[in-house]
Amino acid sequence: MVKLMDIKTKKRLMQTACKVRMGIIEGTYNAKSGHPGGSLSIADILTYLYFEKINIDPNNPQMPNRDRFVLSKGHAAPALYSVLAHRGFFSVEELKRLRHIGSMLQGHPDMKNTPGVDMSTGSLGQGISAAVGMALASKHFKSGFKVYCAVGDGELEEGQVWEAFMFAAHKKLDNLIVFVDLNNLQIDGTLDDVNSPLPVDKKLEAFNWHVITIDGHDFDQIEQAVEEALAVTGKPTAIIANTIKGKGVSFMENAVDWHGVAPNYDQYKAAMAELEEYLKSLED
Amino acid sequence: MAEVKKVATRDGYGMALVELGKINQDFLVLDADLGAATRTGMFKKEFPDRFYNCGIAEQNMISLAAGIASTGKKVFASTFAMFAAGRAFEQIRNSVGYPRLNVKIGATHAGVSVGEDGATHQCCEDIALMRTIPGMIVINPADVVEAKACVIKAFEVDGPVYMRFGRLAVPVIFDEDYEFQIGKGIELRPGTDVTIIATGLMVAEALQAHEILAAEGVSARIINMATIKPIDKEIIIKAAKETGLIITAEEHSIIGGLGSAVCEVTSEKYPVKVIRIGIKDTYGISGPAVDLLKYYNLTAEEIAKTALQAVKCK
């Protein structure tokens, strides 16, 4: 039943995701702030969407009927920026200007400033509602585009998220696919330490969503989940992606302290060396 | 005295939405389970397929409206002022205001004239809240004619607009051919001793105050200030220079509303005494709307009394 991705495509995506991760480290290091942990956990999903799936054109970022992506967990902006840069929306060099005065790369996504950003987000819970609005508009005006969205697991503690889930299912928005980045960590600790929204799958099923659970770092599973979601009718789909916060940089993995702290020079060097080594291993 | 025709500004909102719906198919109307009260129900009746009820979830409704607007379509989002400007403040600020999206917020049941529902539903802080959002246009029409006109203008203008409507039927002031302009105050009566700048349902009271004052030999200029932001600085400075005394009248907290906006202009550009009539840092209470307006001194008599005393002290 499992249709594996073409091996060349998969390798290319892994290489791209590694470069995206390097962009995340580059950006947060140069900004001396930002959120590397949750950016690294969502990097594979964003890489897959932007390089394999969604209908966008870097030369025409405002293409009216393009697919939309909303990063509801807006603090993972370094991941979105890195993906957009590598996809050609703007120069990869720009990532070094993350969070600098006058930069197009604000601390959280700003649709008025950054080519390729479809919605300004950052205040948790609001992006998913906007994504639902986009999906509703696509259906109502028969525009035909799909809407993808990523919410954080900690973000599920915001009540507005559940208002959005309720509405999307009630309006049968089957053109909406929401990834839940389940890395199990939020600023103050694990989900369980704080105010766990688990089990997410059962809650979303009860909200009349089609629910798929995957390993969010496995491109085969990401692709299969998206294909399945696109085939679902009458329901929105939630893809619960089990991920590792800090994925790809060993000392950042599963460490709560890397939620909102930038690497210092030594950590930056170590992280980049590790990622470069991994990239080389993929080229062999 | 002939019977004055009275209509609530919320009715103007509903009527204008229907008018717009007839000539334009490219926008949607959202409500949060209050369609009958906010009068978006009138639009729903005519164009059921272009109306979406978001249920009792105002925060989602506002961000959802932002999502719709981000795709290039205009959208009206309606609920009571309390739940729009109050509950969904941050959604308006971050999802709508910051990306400057074409969301037009129709907030009804503003002020104490909500009546019997009492303090929890009587929003006297919305103008203050909305005014602080960069780029937000804030309009508080005086009657049904101005209400209709402001909806049409809000639809035409690019960017977010907050429109404030009332539940209570109030006197019709303007003729149907009245031309409303965003950001322009209107001198409704000339005067040289004092200027009364009013907004919303207090405009009709100010016009009555003009008559009372005239009988006392006081010449009161009356200005209708429907747009609170951007405020018409020119008409305020002119009034300050020519009458040397300003009284503001609003069915809103005297903190942060029209009175504050006028003071900001006069204190920087041409300092004169400004007396603010409005809700004085307190919550509302239950009661019939007309009685509540008297209870809170939001009347022509109070305006006239205040003006008379102030003119004597000049």
In B, which residues are within 8 Å of A68 by CB distance?
70-71
Size of chain B in residues:
314
The per-residue pLDDT for range A173-186, each reduced to its tens digit, is 999 999 999 999 99
Secondary structure of chain A in HEC code, one letter for each residue: CCCCCCHHHHHHHHHHHHHHHHHHHHHHHHHCCCCHHHHHHHHHHHHHHHHHHCCCCCCCCCCCCCCEEEECCHHHHHHHHHHHHHHCCCCHHHHHHCCCCCCCCCCCCCCCCCCCCCCCCCCCCHHHHHHHHHHHHHHHCCCCCCEEEEEECHHHHCHHHHHHHHHHHHCCCCCEEEEEEECCEECCEEHHHHCCCCCHHHHHHHCCCEEEEEECCCHHHHHHHHHHHHHCCCCCEEEEEECCCCCCCHHHCCCHHHCCCCCCHHHHHHHHHHHHHHHHHHHC
Q: What residues does B110 pair with on adjacent strands?
A: B123
At residue B62, does pLDDT exceed 70?
Answer: yes
Q: What domains are defined for chain A? A: 7-283 (3.40.50.970)
At residue B1, does pLDDT exceed 60?
Answer: no
**From the candidates B29, B56, B63, B103, which should be mutated to test the interface with A, based on the most A CB atoms within 10 A?**
B63
Task: Kindly report the CATH number that applies to the domain delimited by B6-171.
Answer: 3.40.50.970
The HSE-up count of residue A123 (CA atoms within 13 Å, CB side) is 20
Report phi then psi at A131, rounded to 5: -60, -40
User: Could you tell me the strand order of the sheet in which B245-253 lies?
Assistant: B186-189, B220-224, B194-198, B245-253, B273-279
User: Please, which residues have CB within 8 angstroms of residue B307's CB and are 6 or more apart in sequence?
Assistant: B194, B196, B209, B213, B218, B220, B247
Q: What's the pLDDT at A175? A: 98
Answer whether B63 sits within 8 Å of A126, measured CB to CB: yes
Q: ∠ at Cα B214 (B213, B216), nearest 5°? A: 65
Annotated active-site positions of B, please?
A: 58
What CA–CA distance (Å, rounded) separates A247 from B314? 73
In B, which residues are within 8 Å of A170 by CB distance?
55
pTM (2 decimals)?
0.97
Size of chain A in residues:
284
Residue of A nearest to B59 (CA): A160
Report phi then psi at B253, rounded to 5: -55, 140
In B, which residues are within 8 Å of A171 by CB distance?
52
Answer whether B90 sits within 8 Å of A120, measured CB to CB: no
Residue of A nearest to B50 (CA): A140
User: Could you tell me the strand order of the sheet in which A147-152 lies?
Assistant: A68-71, A147-152, A176-182, A237-242, A210-215
Residue type, B186: I
The per-residue pLDDT for range A34-74, each reduced to its tens digit, is 999 999 999 999 999 999 999 999 999 999 999 999 999 99
Any chain B CB within 8 A of the CB of A56? no
Mean pLDDT over the full length of chain A: 97
In B, which residues are within 8 Å of A160 by CB distance?
57, 59-60, 63, 91
State both tokens at A121: 């987000």
The per-residue pLDDT for range A94-144, each reduced to its tens digit, is 999 999 999 999 999 999 999 999 999 999 999 999 999 999 999 999 999
Instruction: Quickly tell me which residue has 């170590």 as its tokens.
Output: A270
What CA–CA distance (Å, rounded) separates A181 from B193? 66
Q: How confident is the model at residue A4 (pLDDT cuts 50, 70, 90)?
A: confident
Distances (CA, A) of B44 to B28, B36, B47, B84, B117: 10, 10, 5, 20, 25
Any chain B CB within 8 A of the CB of A133? yes
Answer whether A134 sits within 8 Å of B57, measured CB to CB: no
At residue A195, does pLDDT exceed 90?
Answer: yes
Any chain B CB within 8 A of the CB of A71? no
Q: What's the pLDDT at B177? A: 94
| Domains B6-171 and B186-312 fall in the same CATH topology | yes
- Which residue in B26, B50, B64 is closest to A133 by CB distance? B64
The per-residue pLDDT for range B85-110, each reduced to its tens digit, is 999 999 999 999 999 999 999 999 99
- Which residue in A110, A130, A141 is closest to B67 by CB distance? A130
Q: How confident is the model at residue A1 (pLDDT cuts 50, 70, 90)?
A: low
Shortest distance between the Cα of A204 and any Cα of chain B, in A, equals 17
% of chain A residues with pLDDT over 90? 96
Q: How confident is the model at residue B314 (pLDDT cuts 50, 70, 90)?
A: confident
- C-alpha closest to that of A68 among B67, B30, B102: B67
Q: How confident is the model at residue A209 (pLDDT cuts 50, 70, 90)?
A: very high
Shortest distance between the Cα of A114 and any Cα of chain B, in A, equals 12
Answer whether B67 sits within 8 Å of A131, measured CB to CB: yes
**From the candidates B30, B53, B56, B60, which should be mutated to test the interface with A, based on the most A CB atoms within 10 A?**
B60
Q: How confident is the model at residue A283 (pLDDT cuts 50, 70, 90)?
A: confident
Secondary structure of chain B in HEC code, one letter for each residue: CCCCCEECHHHHHHHHHHHHHHHCCCEEEEECCCHHHHCHHHHHHHCHHHEEECCCCHHHHHHHHHHHHHCCCEEEEEEEHHHHHHHCHHHHHHHHHCCCCCEEEEEECECHHHCCCCHHHCECCHHHHHHCCCCCEEECCCCHHHHHHHHHHHHHCCCCEEEECCCCCEECCCCCCCCCCCCCCEEEECCCCEEEEECCCHHHHHHHHHHHHHHCCCCEEEEECCEEECCCHHHHHHHHHHHCEEEEEEEEECCCCHHHHHHHHHHHHCCCEEEEEEECCCCCCCCCHHHHHHHCCCCHHHHHHHHHHHHHHC
The per-residue pLDDT for range B204-245, each reduced to its tens digit, is 999 999 999 999 999 999 999 999 999 999 999 999 999 999
Q: What's the pLDDT at A26? A: 98
In A, which residues are within 8 Å of B91 by CB distance?
126, 129, 160
Answer whether B60 sits within 8 Å of A129, measured CB to CB: yes
Residue type, B17: L
Q: How confident is the model at residue A2 (pLDDT cuts 50, 70, 90)?
A: low
Domain ranges of chain B: 6-171, 186-312
The per-residue pLDDT for range B159-171, each reduced to its tens digit, is 999 999 999 999 9
Answer whether B57 sits within 8 Å of A166, measured CB to CB: yes
Q: Which CATH class is domain B186-312?
A: alpha beta
Instruction: Compute the Cα dihedral for A83, A106, A152, A171 and give only its sign.
Output: negative
